Structure 1
Amino acid sequence: MKLSEALAVSVLLSVVASNAHATTYNLPENGHDNVITQFQDDVPLTRVEQNETLLDVARRFSLGQTEIVRLNPELDRWHIKKNEIVRLANKRILPDTPREGITLNIAEYRLYYYPPVQAGAAPQVISYAHGIGRQDWKTPLGKTHIVRKVKDPAWHPPESIRREHAANGDPLPAIVAPGPHNPLGAYMLHLAVPGGYLIHGTDIDKIYGIGMQITHGCVRMYPEDIEELYRSVPVGTPVHIVKQPIKVGWLDNVFYIEAHPDLEGEETTLEQRVAMALGLIQKANNQAVPEFDPEVLRRALKALDGNPVALFERAPPLPELPKGAARKIGLTEGEG
């Protein structure tokens, strides 16, 4: 029995409908927790309503190509049959950055946007899939901000890119006018990074490159996602660009670890990943390494499937006693 069939039998009632576009999460009620959850079921599934590609499903749920293929390794990404069951993402650990503006974690091909909290509303984070720079055109890391927003931008390809295309027999004009074949798409956010790095949409020919290392260093998003982000973020919004392939975090006194594969051109050993994970665990646990099953950790760091794995659970804190209660039960200073 295929994995998709087994999951369909065991979690049949958890099949979810398409939500389209970005994924919005309520932040955990405990401000120190940093694991977010989209669906109640640990293994959310969707049933395909017509013959299509796995990448069509990915776009409906704002998942990138790498992520949805990793979640469904037994499926043919180019041919998903009607009524076939596709596994979706659910839990995510927030990157270790301030909860402000935009965070781009290039290691997982995802953007996290923290909108201003509205009066009386729960704080939220909105997450989108994106593509990043190729091995030879890396997306830069660091803190920056949005300096300019442009709708229907023209593309002025740098000379280095024009030379590359010419060498491949695909010469580019000096200016690519706005339109469906413009690689910048319909919306562009200009970052304060030397070299002209952008967060932008995509042309109709490269939509399925979202969630891959495919750009010349810019961050590329689905057309509907960049439009939504463009309308939401003002000039001056801070942007944190990080590379965190291993993330750890708490949710309701359960500690999770999430691990992603190396980017192209990078290679870490299992032992290096274990050392990195132990450092993160210690940092998140008051500089102490708690007792846990090391084999669970090693399996997560071998699988590298991006799914948060529960590593251990701590006892919940004791409820605070009302004033005067300590004296009544004989726990005043000097007693006990």
Structure 2
Amino acid sequence: MKRASLITLSILAALSAVHSAWAVDYPLPPANSRLIGQNQTYTVQESDRNLQAIARRFDTAAMLLIEANNTMAPVPRPGTVVTIPSQMLLPDAPREGIIVNLAELRLYYFPPGENQVQVYPIGIGLQGLETPEMTTRVGQKIPNPTWTPPAGIRARSAAKGIHLPAVVPAGPNNPLGRYALRLAYGNGEYLIHGTSAPDSVGLRVSSGCIRMNAPDIKALFSQVRSGTPVRVINEPVKYSVEPNGMRYVEVHRPLSQNPEQDTQNLSFTLSSDFTQFAQHADVRKEQLQKALTRRAGYPVAVSGENGAARATEPSLSMQSGQRGDAVSEGEVSGTVTQ
């Protein structure tokens, strides 16, 4: 799948109706830089079904839209101008293979031999069934997976009056979608896979696996080889000193252990390296504290005269394109049989 550059993406957006999902390649910045992309804005149309459909249109996560816009209704009113957080800092990890940052609900893929990074939205484990942090690799590629619901999921579903079959065959209604990448971690119970519930991507809803939109997992599956390194991290606060001396922080709401917790006010555990970054003479402490409190989910400059300003974001006024599929409720597991 050939993925359009951000510049091409913007041109196409201005000229025609958008598709149900946009995937974007970002050129890799120099080794001493982590800032990529730029934010956009979108005006909600009458035909926009819900927040997830808008997120899918830009291949981002619904939770990221909520962060970027501070407060957002599940079905935003037509005419509402929505910030699309398509600028970000690369995670603090080697630029190879797959990096999943749970806190920002994004997967980064660095194609070998190419000076680019692909960024995808993901769904992750809900509270009590969290996706674990890990350093591993792709152990197996599984096209057209079947799904064998584990005993725990079958029991929880039965308690809700839903009786799952012993095996769900491959096909469009399979909760694992059309493609799955088994991770060589634990007993192989964790997968990166598609889903039959597209509105669940960008949320904490799985039983620990990593969900992707159907076009995204298809694109990733076609490129990734068995043995590709995979790192799953939890990094709600990212920061960077750019080559021009500007300092940026990108702050996401931390993952809660309890659905009732207010993640907007949940405390962080900040590293000693971040403390050193924050204490630098160039950092405007008031702006940094504002960024840590606001938790906007996109890079904010905390040095220089424009320390409060976020990165530039072109305004795109577009008509709605195709709508996403309807939501189907239910949990999925990481157990697959062939």
TM-score by length of 1: 0.77
Question: What's the secondary structure of 2:302's corresponding residue?
Answer: strand
Instruction: Say if 2:226 is the partner of 1:235.
Output: yes
Q: Deviations over 1:167-213 (max 9, x none)?
A: 2211111101112221101110000011410000000xx21111111
- Please point out which of 136, 139, 151 is paired with 1:159: 151
In the alignment, which of 101, 109, 112 is matched to residue 116 of structure 1?
112
Question: In the aligned structure 2, how far is the partner of 1:197 from the partner of 1:77?
Answer: 29
**Bigger Rg, structure 1 or 2:** 1
Greater relative contact order, per chain length (Cα 8 Å cut-off, separation 6+): 2
Q: 1:153 to 1:271 in 2, by over 3 A?
A: closer
Distance in 1 of aligned mates of 2:271 and 2:290: 12
Aligned to 1:321: none
Q: Who is 1:95 aligned against?
A: 91
2:3 maps to none
TM-superposed CA distance for 1:150, in Å, is 1.1
Q: How many residues align?
A: 285
The whole-number CA distance in structure 2 between the counterparts of 1:70 and 1:22 is 20
**Alignment correspondent of 1:217:** 208
- CA distance in 2: counterparts of 1:256 and 1:74, whole angstroms: 23
Once the two structures are TM-superposed, the CA of residue 265 in structure 1 deviates from its matched residue by 1.4
Matches within 5 A, 1:63-82: 63-73=60-70, 75-81=72-78
Q: 2:165 aligns with which of 151, 159, 173?
A: 173
Matched, 1:297 2:293: no
Q: Which residue of 2 aligns with 1:191?
A: 183
Q: SS of the counterpart of 1:295?
A: helix
Which stretch shifts more, 253-262 or 101-110? Answer: 253-262
Unaligned runs of 5+ in 1: 1-12, 315-336
Question: Gaps spanning 5+ residues in structure 2: where?
Answer: 1-10, 306-338
Instruction: Give the CA deviation at 1:280.
Output: 1.6
For 1:25-64, what per-residue CA distance to the aligned partner results, in whole angstroms no more than 9, with x for missing partners?
1111x32111112x3xxx5212445511222121011111
Cα offsets for 1:224-243 (capped at 9, x unmatched): 11111000111110000000
1:34 corresponds to: 34
> Does the 8 A contact of 1:246 with 1:259 survive in 2?
yes
Is 1:201 the counterpart of 2:197? The answer is: no
Q: SS at 1:312's partner residue? A: coil
1:150 to 116, 123, 142: 142
Shift of 1:264: 2.6
Could you give the per-residue CA deviations for residues 133-158 of structure 1, whole angstroms, max 9, x where no partner exists?
A: 01111111121000111111100111
| Deviations 1:110-153 (CA, angstroms, capped at 9, x unpaired) | 000011124xxxx1111000010011111111210001111111
